Amino acid sequence: MESEVKIIDQIYWVGMNDRESHLFESMWPLPQGVCYNSYLILDQKIALLDTVKKIVSPGYLTKLRNILPKGKQIDYLIIHHLEPDHSGSIPILLELFPQIQIIGTKKTAEFLEHLYGISDNVKIVANGDELDLGERKLIFFSTPMVHWPETMMSYEPNNKILFSGDAFGGFGTMDGGIFDDTVDINYYEDETLRYFSNIVGKFSSMVLKAIDKLKGYDIKIVASTHGPIWRKNPQRVIDLYEKWSRHESEKGVVVAYGSMYGNTEKMMEATVRGIAETGLQTIRIHNVSKAHNSFILRDIWRYKGLILGSPTYDGKLFPPMESLVCLLRDKMIKKRCVGIFGNYGWSGGGVKSLNDFVGQAKLQLVEPAVEARFAPETEQLEQCFRLGTNIASSIKQHNC
Ligand SMILES: Cc1cc2nc3c(=O)[nH]c(=O)nc-3n(C[C@H](O)[C@H](O)[C@H](O)COP(=O)(O)O)c2cc1C
Ligand SMILES: [Fe+2]
Ligand SMILES: [Fe+2]
């Protein structure tokens, strides 16, 4: 979709779809692509809100040229976030429109100089500052560490639009529609959670601080830098981000396991039999050797129960499980009931590492922790079954 779309009188979406990149931040898979949202306000003064990643800048600049009234220039570039998925087009934009005044936080100015060598015509704004555009104005909120130090949001009071930067964003290209009421929004909510858990979730406490700052403002439209624009139900995405940031979760169990030769997998099968026997149907199994951590983390962020199963490898966890555990530690997952099982051949180490992780992360361990030597015997398979029933009842009784 190459054309600009009107959001409301004189305010346009000029974002770009990226259907080409395989990975976001060279790390997170993009099966449904990603969109870099940028907005243009055509008032007496013309303001551009964020830009797009460099690889899509040719189409972006064409869009801007098409939409700008003849003889008009862009007066302001508001930077909500300087990560290059939104700032990559700034150098080329400045070549075309050298008179633009850049507006951002103190940190933005500092980063802009280091990242692009840009320091001229930069105006620093602080929390509560306003920018007059003519009929409209923008009020700035400083919302640091969502998910970089320089981040801010802006609010346009006439139309009650919140330009929120990465907060309230999600993966996925805009496939024709750009609003929550013109797309299949359920399809986007999964990718919004994956974006949140992979990119923003670590900074949950700062997201909650940012949401707190917005309280008292009537928000009719949420326009973030990724994903759909929420105008039918803007509170929905704010509530989702708030719930996820509080680590509130749904009834269900994620079982992430690794297995080289099928023995740990047998333990997994016995465990999920135990869960299913209780009537709990929401079970999400991920083989860590096949699924990308990005999707496993999304499901872990959604559901209350987590079971990790791993063989021992070189005295430690099976490496793909080690990588998942490392990610969970980094992203500071909280408030989960966790079960563990594992397998070893000679001196063990896998189950111990899982146990250490659960303790260090202060997650609630559900008994029994099951360990088998090579092939699990009936006794360990029965323990796994019991682990499954125990975790399901902990979840049902809201014990974690
Ligand atoms: C490459 C490799 C490395 C292993 N390293 C260890 C180890 O360091 N310590 C240990 O107790 N067992 C080790 N084992 C044994 C496995 O943990 C054991 O065979 C286990 O049953 C494998 O489970 P799986 O069938 O689910 O893959 C290793 C096995 C393999 C294949
Ligand atoms: Fe970002
Ligand atoms: Fe971003």
Q: Would you give the distance in Å from CA 372 to the centre of its chain?
A: 37
What's the mean pLDDT in 77-105? 98
Which listed ligand is nearest to 86 at the C-alpha? 3
Q: Which protein residue's CA is at the shortest distance from atom 6 of ligand 1?
A: 313
The tens digit of pLDDT for each residue in 163-193 reads: 999 999 999 999 999 999 999 999 999 999 9
CA dihedral 88, 91, 93, 98 (to 10 degrees): 160
- Pocket residues: Cβ below 6 A from ligand 1: 259-265, 311-315, 343-349, 374
- Ligand 1 centre to CA of 120 (Å) is 60
Mean pLDDT of all residues in the chain?
97
> For residue 2, is pLDDT > 60?
no
Residue 150: which pLDDT band, with cuts at 50, 70 and 90?
very high
Residue 116: which pLDDT band, with cuts at 50, 70 and 90?
very high
- Ligand 2 centre to CA of 9 (Å) is 28
- The dihedral through the CA atoms of 317, 319, 320, 322 has a sign that is positive
Which of 76, 66, 88 shows the shortest CA–CA distance to 14? 66
Residue 4: which pLDDT band, with cuts at 50, 70 and 90?
confident
Dist CA 299 CA 306 (whole Å) = 9
For 316-359, the DSSP string reads: EE-HHHHHHHHHHHHHT--S-EEEEEEEESSS--HHHHHHHHHH
The DSSP bridge partners found for residue 313 are 316
Q: In percent, how much of the chain has pLDDT > 90?
A: 98
What's the mean pLDDT in 298-322? 98
Q: Which protein residue's CA is at the shortest distance from atom 28 of ligand 1?
A: 313
Residue 312 tokens, joined = 């021992």
For the chain, report the end-to-end CA distance as a whole number of angstroms.
45
Which listed ligand is nearest to 147 at the C-alpha? 2
Residue 36: which pLDDT band, with cuts at 50, 70 and 90?
very high
Which listed ligand is nearest to 315 at the C-alpha? 1
- Residue 73 belongs to what H/E stretch? none
> For residue 1, is pLDDT > 70?
no
Residue 3: which pLDDT band, with cuts at 50, 70 and 90?
confident
Q: Are 3 and 148 in contact (CB under 8 A)?
A: no
Tell me what pLDDT residue 397 has: 87
- Residues, the chain: 400
